[in-house]
A and B are shown apart, each in its own frame.
Chain A
């Protein structure tokens, strides 16, 4: 067997593996939300701390009224650059249920950094009762749990429109171009100037949608920066190692024939 044939066989092996991967990708379907530019895109992407902190403000002021973030703890906010004192203040502003105390009674106390984000409703039924029967989903994993991730979230938040003529909407539903079925129970959550950014950024709907999408992507994948940093090192190491192994293989096989 000649060298070129071996190389061709190897190339074919890689091609088959990639084709299999493409097959898995094809499993995805539905109209794609337009792609946005994100700070966390690509092999070296990181979370834009300022955007994520602004996004937290949007979540905290707007979304948190109905949507939980139950897998994230206040202490985790250090991951988007909040200082310890800021985190303590953010947590203390919330009431969290605790107990039972010595008297056997449940009580509410100010939040601590170790607490998970306070839930907006006591349970799903309470959430439905307050929302016209619809259940606002927990947002901890929202960008991983929807096709399109942050792009989808951005498109959804900015995608409210008048329903096309001839479309009858169910009672209390809003038209949204990117929501499956196009009828969503959530009222347009973002309005120009809905929050006041401390850094002076103008709070347009697009800006807020972008910021909160960045924040929620971080909430879903807080390990991403560490993962990508480690990945770059691992891949560089493997590429060098594999090149050396190939040289060794050539060396060892020279006397075979």
Chain B
């Protein structure tokens, strides 16, 4: 941190005791950033902004929400009908959840395409996966709070998954519920945790950024920063680029908030939870559909291990396995731009994830041109793990990458300094 002199005496006084001004200057202003970042690099800052939007709207919503099975549904409707701009706050928060996942999934695929998880950014990636897990827990519990039919039955289905744990499964479920079914104690603790976890995520985001700022951003050619000719200061170049991206995103986001606020939701969640009536088919929110497909794809026992347990392990495993990605991929070349084979299977993997989502939205018995959804789900699940466990390591060893540019600067400007 270069010693900077400030003329304002108050700034000077504070700076001497807590060097916050030079810190901000260093991390947000002069922070050297690769000059070749494309628009896929917008999604990190977008995710951070959506997190803040979610926390702010959530805090205000909590002021008018009642976490009790008899009042939760009605209190949400009071927010919609009687609280000033309550409908706006709630629709922002509700659609914000979907937006958060759209952004984070793009951010994650960006990292996979450009090899952002590779040395020395392994921990950065791992923290990111932990953030994703925390987000999923938060989103799941948030979905329960309006206490509609899908809230209740999603909570029942998901918490019941823990009963697959051998020996202590049933006890764990009772412990999670705080009783013998999803009921008031469950709703209370979900509200408490739904309020807590976003702040945990916020802290994790700081650690994520801390790790990011040590080795700086990866970039589309995946070559290390070799000197000042490869970088530009974060401000004003990326502040304006991120702000422009934010504008585009807000147009997308606000369209749903104002004109199709229930697009991502299930109509059943506007029916108050009723433990005696099971909806005809229980589906999770769209961002969980791929995992739901993986869970339901396992319909067979292996030896003495019951199908349900394997399904649950496969579902959680589909995310946890990402933690090992930095070591599964042996290639030293980061960017898929220079990896002709990996580049192609990457897109197959993306399509596979969409197929899983589509299967998750349908009942396993449904048919697609005579092919049972279950079989499509099983094939897609197989490919998901096959891609990560077999294809990635194999390709990383066998593939001949294209020649890398000598530097970022050379890649960006033909004939530029290397």
Contact = CB atoms under 8 A, between A and B. Distances in A.
A76 B241 CA distance: 45
Interface residues of A, number: 51
Given A230-B258, A252-B237, A23 B361 contact: yes
A37 interface: no
Interface string B31-74: 00001101110000000000000000000000000000000001
Given A245-B240, A256-B237, A231 B254 contact: yes
Contacts of A27: 266, 283, 286, 289, 361
B25 interface: no
B263 A1 contact: no
A257 interface: yes
A231 B361 contact: no
B255 interface: yes
B357 interface: yes
A17 B247 contact: no
Given A13-B40, A145-B270, A238-B247, A256 B259 contact: no
B240 A252 contact: yes
Contacts of A141: 77, 270-271
A163 to B, nearest CB: 21
A187 interface: no
Contacts of B87: 223, 227
Given A9-B38, A180-B280, A23 B354 contact: yes
A66 B237 CA distance: 64
Nearest to B248: A242
Contact of A249 (B40, B244, B251, B362): B244
Interface in B217-253: 220, 232, 236-237, 240-241, 243-244, 247-248, 250-252
A26 B358 contact: yes
A241 B106 contact: no
B39 A257 contact: no
B255 to A, nearest CB: 7
B361 A6 contact: no
A246 interface: yes
A144 B251 contact: no
A222 B289 CA distance: 32
Contacts, number: 129
Contacts of A230: 88, 258
B267 interface: yes
Interface in A198-257: 220, 222-223, 227-228, 230-232, 234-235, 238-239, 241-242, 245-246, 248-249, 252-253, 256-257
B259 A145 contact: no
B264 interface: yes
Contact of A241 (B81, B102, B247, B259): B247
B27 interface: no
Nearest to B35: A256
Contacts of A242: 244, 247-248, 250-251
Nearest to B413: A257
B354 A24 contact: no
Nearest to A11: B39
Q: Of residues B88, B244, B412, B413, which shows the largest number of chain A Cβ atoms within 10 Å of its Cβ?
A: B244
Q: Of residues A9, A245, A257, which shows the largest number of chain B Cβ atoms within 10 Å of its Cβ?
A: A245
Interface in A141-163: 141, 144-147
Interface in A117-152: 137, 140-141, 144-147
A224 to B, nearest CB: 9
Which applies to chain B's interface (DSSP): helix, strand, loop or mixed?
A: helix
Contacts of A256: 35, 232, 237
B244 A231 contact: no
Contacts of A62: none
A144 B270 contact: yes
A74 B283 CA distance: 36
A228 B280 CA distance: 33
A10 interface: yes
A161 B191 CA distance: 47
B358 A223 contact: no
Contacts of A167: none
B250 A13 contact: no
A40 to B, nearest CB: 12
Given A24-B263, A245-B247, A238 B254 contact: yes
Contacts of B261: 227
B37 to A, nearest CB: 9
Q: Of residues A19, A147, A223, A239, which shows the largest number of chain B Cβ atoms within 10 Å of its Cβ?
A: A223
A173 interface: no
Nearest to A10: B39
Nearest to B77: A71
Given A27-B283, A27-B289, A234-B258, A9 B80 contact: no
B268 A145 contact: yes
Contacts of A10: 39, 248
A171 to B, nearest CB: 21
B262 interface: yes
Nearest to A30: B280
Given A13-B106, A71-B74, A249 B361 contact: no
Contact of A145 (B106, B232, B271, B358): B271
27 contacts: A1-B412, A6-B38, A9-B39, A10-B248, A14-B248, A14-B252, A17-B252, A23-B289, A24-B98, A24-B263, A24-B264, A24-B286, A27-B286, A29-B362, A145-B270, A147-B267, A223-B87, A227-B91, A230-B258, A234-B258, A238-B250, A242-B251, A249-B241, A252-B236, A252-B237, A253-B240, A257-B413
Interface of B: 35-36, 38-40, 74, 77, 80-81, 87-88, 91, 98, 102, 105-106, 220, 232, 236-237, 240-241, 243-244, 247-248, 250-252, 254-255, 257-259, 261-264, 266-268, 270-271, 280, 283, 286, 289, 354, 357-358, 361-362, 412-413, 416
